[in-house]
């Protein structure tokens, strides 16, 4: 006689997934076409069939902390071939979004980032922070803000670098702390689920072994090999690679300029032939082009669910690249007052990138990398 299994269905969980883009998952009748069609699904316990079943039944514990939902790169092959129009790719996207909410701290901020009505408030926060801290610096005799036209040739002449670093360094550090808290729970849940499902017999995670697994999967991520195995949206890999390497390039540039100013005391402005400036300009252009390609691909896929999270990410990436380049162009053209205003807006977007990334779709970079490393660690191919 078969062993009975008690199903504790969470209807609220089903409804939340529907609101995050998985409204068609109930159409699934478990034909397994999606798992067969997926070129990157493992041979043992393949996705997304089991995830579609668990989500349809409201089995939240089978979705939260499930590394397989992060192995999916949302190429769309499964959704295209689904005979019922259940759109498994969109359903898995909704599950990933839910996981980001689940591991976010504080959850109230995560809900605000996902709410388009809260966007004006979220953008106003960095503006207020810059203005208030700037006024505090003014009390200590630091002339932090100067929109008046003059012979300035460097952003620090109108928005003091002390102010920028006082704001950005704690914000960036706070974002890392939020990710750390979420990843600690995420890895623990993945391991508990793997033990329960018999995917691993390792009772505890070896940090050194996990680190080696992470290094092994980095080339796959940096080359976007999994994207290229998909057929439906293979061209998306180009846009994603451009955005990824743009962020890496701009991170390197920021680090170089920070060291130049605060460690080696090499003050700006830096000439346009400076190699670091070349990296900065190329990265900014790549960021804009990559975001434009993402926008083009989204608009072309009318059968794919595109929620607010998708548009928020694309808009933020475009805004970062555009305001950064426009600041430099206005400064070089001698429009110092205009350059100061654009730079102020650029700093608002930079702060938003740091502060809101753990609660936005961009968090998938961290969670997917961690999930891929974990599967490599336990030897699941």
Do 62 and 165 belong to one domain? no
Do 130 and 52 belong to one domain? no
208 occurs within a structural domain: yes
* 294 has pLDDT over 70: yes
The per-residue pLDDT for 144 is: 60
226 occurs within a structural domain: yes
pLDDT, tens digit (0-9, with 9 covering 90-100), for 206-224: 999 999 999 999 999 998 8
The pLDDT of 325-335, averaged and rounded, is 87
Do 272 and 351 belong to one domain? yes
Do 127 and 186 belong to one domain? yes
* Cα–Cα distance measured from residue 24 to residue 27, given in angstroms and rounded to the nearest whole number: 6
Higher pLDDT residue, 66 or 159?
66
Band (366; pLDDT cuts 50, 70, 90): very high
Do 130 and 238 belong to one domain? yes
pLDDT, tens digit (0-9, with 9 covering 90-100), for 264-280: 887 777 788 889 999 99
The per-residue pLDDT for 153 is: 45
CATH number for the domain spanning 64: value is 1.10.1060.10
Number of alpha carbons in the 13 Å side-chain half-sphere of residue 371 = 24
Do 111 and 95 belong to one domain? no
Q: List Cα–Cα distances, 236 to 23, 76, 173, 247, in angstroms.
A: 24, 11, 31, 17
308 occurs within a structural domain: yes
* 368 has pLDDT over 90: yes
Kindly report the pTM of this predicted structure. 0.90
6 occurs within a structural domain: no
Do 49 and 133 belong to one domain? no
2 occurs within a structural domain: no
Where in the sequence is the domain holding 183, given as residue range(s)?
A: 107-377
Do 120 and 76 belong to one domain? no
pLDDT, tens digit (0-9, with 9 covering 90-100), for 163-202: 788 889 999 999 999 999 999 999 999 999 888 888 888 8
Across the chain, mean pLDDT equals 87
Do 114 and 80 belong to one domain? no
Do 75 and 165 belong to one domain? no
Q: List Cα–Cα distances, 291 to 31, 295, 308, 310, 359, in angstroms.
A: 36, 6, 15, 11, 20
18 occurs within a structural domain: yes
Residue 14 main-chain phi, psi, to 5 deg: -60, -45
- What's the domain count of the chain? 2
263 occurs within a structural domain: yes
Q: Which of 75, 73, 54 is nearest to 65 (CA)?
A: 54
> Sign of the CA dihedral 263, 269, 273, 277?
positive
309 CB-near residues (< 8 Å, 6+ apart): 97, 114, 360, 361
Residue 5 backbone zone (phi > 0: left; psi -120 to 50: alpha; other: beta): beta
Band (349; pLDDT cuts 50, 70, 90): very high
């Amino acid at each position: 006689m078969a062993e009975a299994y008690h199903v504790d269905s969470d209807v609220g969980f089903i409804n939340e997934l529907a609101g995050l883009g998985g409204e068609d998952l109930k159409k699934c009748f478990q034909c397994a076409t999606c798992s067969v069609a997926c070129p990157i699904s493992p041979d043992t316990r393949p996705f997304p069939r089991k995830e579609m079943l668990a989500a349809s039944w409201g089995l939240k514990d089978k979705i939260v902390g499930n590394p397989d939902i992060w192995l999916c790169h949302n190429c769309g092959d499964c959704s295209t071939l689904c005979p019922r129009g259940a759109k498994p790719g969109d359903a898995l996207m909704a599950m990933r979004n839910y996981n980001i909410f689940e591991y976010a701290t504080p959850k109230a901020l995560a809900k605000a980032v996902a709410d388009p009505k809260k966007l004006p408030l979220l953008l106003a926060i960095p503006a207020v922070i810059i203005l208030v801290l700037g006024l505090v610096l003014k009390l200590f005799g630091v002339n932090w803000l100067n929109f008046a036209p003059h012979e300035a040739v460097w952003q620090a002449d109108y928005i003091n670098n002390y102010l920028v670093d006082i704001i950005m360094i704690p914000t960036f550090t706070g974002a890392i702390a939020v990710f750390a808290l979420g990843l600690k729970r995420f890895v623990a849940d993945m391991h508990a689920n793997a033990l329960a499902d018999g995917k691993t017999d390792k009772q505890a995670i070896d940090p050194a072994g996990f680190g080696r697994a992470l290094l092994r999967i980095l080339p796959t991520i940096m080359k976007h090999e999994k994207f290229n195995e998909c057929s439906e949206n293979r061209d998306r890999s180009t846009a994603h690679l451009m955005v990824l390497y743009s962020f890496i390039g701009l991170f390197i540039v920021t680090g170089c300029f920070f060291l130049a100013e605060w460690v080696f005391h090499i003050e700006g402005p830096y000439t346009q032939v400076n190699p670091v400036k070349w990296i900065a300009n190329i990265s900014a252009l790549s960021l804009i082009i990559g975001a434009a390609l993402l926008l083009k691909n989204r608009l072309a896929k009318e059968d794919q669910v595109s929620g607010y999270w998708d548009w928020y990410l694309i808009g933020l990436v475009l805004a970062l690249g555009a305001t950064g380049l426009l600041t430099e162009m206005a400064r070089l053209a001698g429009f110092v007052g205009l350059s100061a205003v654009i730079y102020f807006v650029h700093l608002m977007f930079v702060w938003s990138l740091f502060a809101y990334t753990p609660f936005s779709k961009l968090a998938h970079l961290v969670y997917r990398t961690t999930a891929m490393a974990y599967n490599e660690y336990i030897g699941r191919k």
